[in-house]
Structure 1
Amino acid sequence: MQLVVTGATGFIGSRLIDHALSRGHRVMALARNPDRVKPRENSRFRVAKWSLGDPLPAMTQASAILHLAAHIPADFGDAHEAARCFEVNTNGALQLAMHAASQGVKRFVFFGSGQVYAPTSESASETSAAFPVHRASYYLASKLAAEICLLSFGTANAMPVTVLRLASVYGPGMHGAGMVPTFIRALGSGRSVVIRDGGRYRVDLVYVDDVVSLALAAIEKEQAGIFNAGSGQACRSLEAAQTIAEALGAARDLVNVEGARTDGAALGFAELSVAKAVEQLGYNPRSFRQGIEAWKAETGLADFRSGSGQE
């Protein structure tokens, strides 16, 4: 198939391109700065200069667009960022779908967020209430609005749209500000990490290759609709730090906990139910421990310990 990937310079986009090429697909990467796209010596890969709002380059029988490009505000709490979020993440995505449909693109895959769900102590399924007013509201609202617009446009124009609601993605090549790379860098260099709130913070951590495989399965199996892309398990911050310490061979006493270790209400986000993806797309995500071991196996212990491959 001929696949078109936006956000090609990003962590997930770059991994997606590699996996698509390894499966024999042809890939066109769209990027504002083509020089930043990782070069690949493959005749089935090419790069085109493009920004959201620009007309699409001429494409011949493109099978699908996988849309990862987005505006991520520097300050999620800044209301002044709302207009830009909706301009790029909502209107830009819809305009891209309109351009794609006019060129006969057969499918559209949108990468949304699993944090659009209303807070819950239960697993969040695709039919759970979505009400992102507790964190990053302007950004998440723009992503949720994009889902609604894209699904409506796809239905009206006979272009199947797949929405993937992503949990917290980690793995080789990720940016270094999140919990997982922070723990890796600290513990890999023999420095301690402090787990706050008694280690009660939880989040669904999903390995990047599982997200990529799910996206490609949605295209190859021609499945439209909304699918959660998580591990199906909530991982607490203390568990994540201890798992990384074990993978690195770091001393367990480098992981320090502040606050009472109680069974009080968890903080953070519930796990995403992945039953629909399992049933319809054959999804089989790794546990966090399995993902960390896969990352270490790919990069080697020395590079993993030093954070090699993190941008």
Structure 2
Amino acid sequence: MKVLVTGAAGFIGYHVCERLLARGDTIIGVDNLDTSGDVTLKATRLSRLKAAPNFGFHRMDIRDVKACRELFDGAKPERVVHLAARVGVRALPSEAPDYAETNVSGFLQVLELCRLAKVEHLVFASSSSVYGAGTPVPFAESSPADHPLSLYAATKRADELMAHVYSHQYGLPVTGLRLFTVYGPWGRPDMAPMLFLRAMLEGRSIVLNGEGRMQRDFTYVDDVVEALVRLLDKPPAGAPPYRVLNVGRGTPVTMARFVDLLEEQLGTKAWVELRSAQPGELPVTCADVTALERETGFRPSVPLEEGLARLVAWYRGTEG
């Protein structure tokens, strides 16, 4: 299978590419290597992927209409995994145009190119943040998602709605994944697992918003990749051929408990600064994965304790 993966040098994109390469797929990786994340980490992930003979890389921005059209015309991907995005719920006002251009306009271009190329299946990353205020716990896909608390959440909800239109009008098979706090080796340095881990090992303080009482549904990256690949191989068969599914563990923990578990794994004490919750942050996230299990026969299963142990072992192995 020939699969185009956008955001290939990103955290989840890297793991998805590794999995697809290992089973023999040909991967067309796309990433603009923007500076909104850790550029060195992206370069290291990318260098590992480039070692595979069936991996080809194109440095480009998904907003570049000409370059993307030429790539689709030349590569002729059979399936597309779209993970490129501006991420984070705390976008500054000055960053708003970039979020809208990348996450909305960029995704619209991906949809259009998939339509023109008659792609067999497009899988894209949405977010648990689309559920917004007042959603009953656990979050079910049938719950309304029309009160986002952040610009990022609003862009991801817009992506879901645009994808539905393309599926309905043009018969494009599309699956959106509402991801719940993904963590693991090669993870994003701006997210709590890596951010806290590094700070604790370096003797720096960490900040817990919401006085540590906020709850998050941490999902190990291998579970996310397993769900994504199973779904990629099984395009939706409905009319329209469209679905949005939660991918999470369904077992949220408080951030205070998360720090306790990280202390146990690292064998060190955290210096904690408690603050009030920030705008755009949900008090709790919790996935109902009934639909995912029904579609794939799989549900994320790696316990947080085990996932953190793997993360710490990886970090110590790579950082010395």
Same fold flag (TM > 0.5) = yes
Name the CA distance, whole Å, in 2 between partners of 1:216 and 1:102. Answer: 23
Name the CA distance, whole Å, in 1 between partners of 2:296 and 2:59. Answer: 32
Equivalent positions of 1:226-265 (< 5 A) are 226-251=244-269, 254=270
Task: Give ranges in structure 1 of 5+ residues lacking alignment.
Answer: 260-265
Name the CA distance, whole Å, in 2 between partners of 1:303 and 1:7. Answer: 25
Secondary structure in structure 2 of the residue aligned to 1:270: coil
Task: Identify if the C-alpha distance between structure 1 residues 47 and 76 changes in structure 2 by more than 3 Å, giving closer, same or farther.
Answer: same
Question: Which amino acid letter does the alignment assign opposite residue 25 of structure 1?
Answer: D
8 Å CA contact 1:63–1:107 kept in 2: the answer is yes
Name the CA distance, whole Å, in 1 between partners of 2:98 and 2:206. Answer: 36
Structure 1 equivalent of residue 158 of structure 2? 145
8 Å CA contact 1:188–1:250 kept in 2: the answer is yes
Name the CA distance, whole Å, in 1 between partners of 2:152 and 2:208. Answer: 27
User: Which one of the candidate residues 133, 138, 144 is aligned to 1:129?
Assistant: 144
Question: Which amino acid letter does the alignment assign opposite residue 84 of structure 2?
Answer: A
Q: Which moved more, 1:153-162 or 1:181-190?
A: 181-190
Identity of matched residues, %? 27
Structure 2 equivalent of residue 15 of structure 1? 15
Q: Which moved more, 1:288-297 or 1:274-283?
A: 288-297
Name the CA distance, whole Å, in 1 between partners of 2:88 and 2:213. Answer: 27
Equivalent positions of 1:148-167 (< 5 A) are 148-167=161-180
Secondary structure in structure 1 of the residue aligned to 2:165: helix
Question: Are residue 92 (structure 1) and residue 110 (structure 2) matched?
Answer: no
Name the CA distance, whole Å, in 2 between partners of 1:279 and 1:74. Answer: 30
User: Which one of the candidate residues 91, 108, 118 is aligned to 1:104?
Assistant: 118
Task: Identify if the C-alpha distance between structure 1 residues 208 and 258 changes in structure 2 by more than 3 Å, giving closer, same or farther.
Answer: same
Q: Deviations over 1:217-267 (max 9, x none)?
A: 11112244101111212121111111111122335xx465859xxxxxx97
User: Which one of the candidate residues 36, 48, 58 is aligned to 1:48?
Assistant: 58
Name the CA distance, whole Å, in 2 between partners of 1:209 and 1:200. Answer: 27
8 Å CA contact 2:174–2:243 kept in 1: the answer is yes
Pairwise CA RMSD of aligned residues?
2.8
User: Which one of the candidate residues 202, 217, 232 is aligned to 2:230?
Assistant: 217
Secondary structure in structure 1 of the residue aligned to 2:114: helix
Question: Which amino acid letter does the alignment assign opposite residue 289 of structure 1?
Answer: E
Q: Please report how far the alpha carbon of residue 139 of structure 1 lies from its aligned counterpart in structure 2 after TM superposition.
A: 2.2
Q: How many residue pairs align between the two structures?
A: 293
Task: Identify if the C-alpha distance between structure 1 residues 241 and 56 changes in structure 2 by more than 3 Å, giving closer, same or farther.
Answer: farther
Structure 1 equivalent of residue 286 of structure 2? 271
Q: Please report how far the alpha carbon of residue 162 of structure 1 lies from its aligned counterpart in structure 2 after TM superposition.
A: 0.3
Q: Please report how far the alpha carbon of residue 56 of structure 1 lies from its aligned counterpart in structure 2 after TM superposition.
A: 4.5
Structure 1 equivalent of residue 200 of structure 2? 187
Q: Deviations over 1:96-121 (max 9, x none)?
A: 12112212211111101110103335
Secondary structure in structure 1 of the residue aligned to 2:244: strand
Structure 2 equivalent of residue 63 of structure 1? 78
Equivalent positions of 1:263-302 (< 5 A) are 268-285=283-300, 286-297=302-313, 299=314, 302=316
Q: Please report how far the alpha carbon of residue 90 of structure 1 lies from its aligned counterpart in structure 2 after TM superposition.
A: 1.6
Name the CA distance, whole Å, in 2 between partners of 1:7 and 1:20. Answer: 15
Task: Identify if the C-alpha distance between structure 1 residues 187 and 65 changes in structure 2 by more than 3 Å, giving closer, same or farther.
Answer: same
Task: Identify if the C-alpha distance between structure 1 residues 96 and 185 changes in structure 2 by more than 3 Å, giving closer, same or farther.
Answer: same
Task: Identify if the C-alpha distance between structure 1 residues 239 and 68 changes in structure 2 by more than 3 Å, giving closer, same or farther.
Answer: same
Task: Identify if the C-alpha distance between structure 1 residues 284 and 294 changes in structure 2 by more than 3 Å, giving closer, same or farther.
Answer: farther
Q: Please report how far the alpha carbon of residue 166 of structure 1 lies from its aligned counterpart in structure 2 after TM superposition.
A: 1.1
Task: Identify if the C-alpha distance between structure 1 residues 56 and 172 changes in structure 2 by more than 3 Å, giving closer, same or farther.
Answer: farther
Task: Identify if the C-alpha distance between structure 1 residues 197 and 133 changes in structure 2 by more than 3 Å, giving closer, same or farther.
Answer: closer
Q: TM-score, normalised by structure 2?
A: 0.81
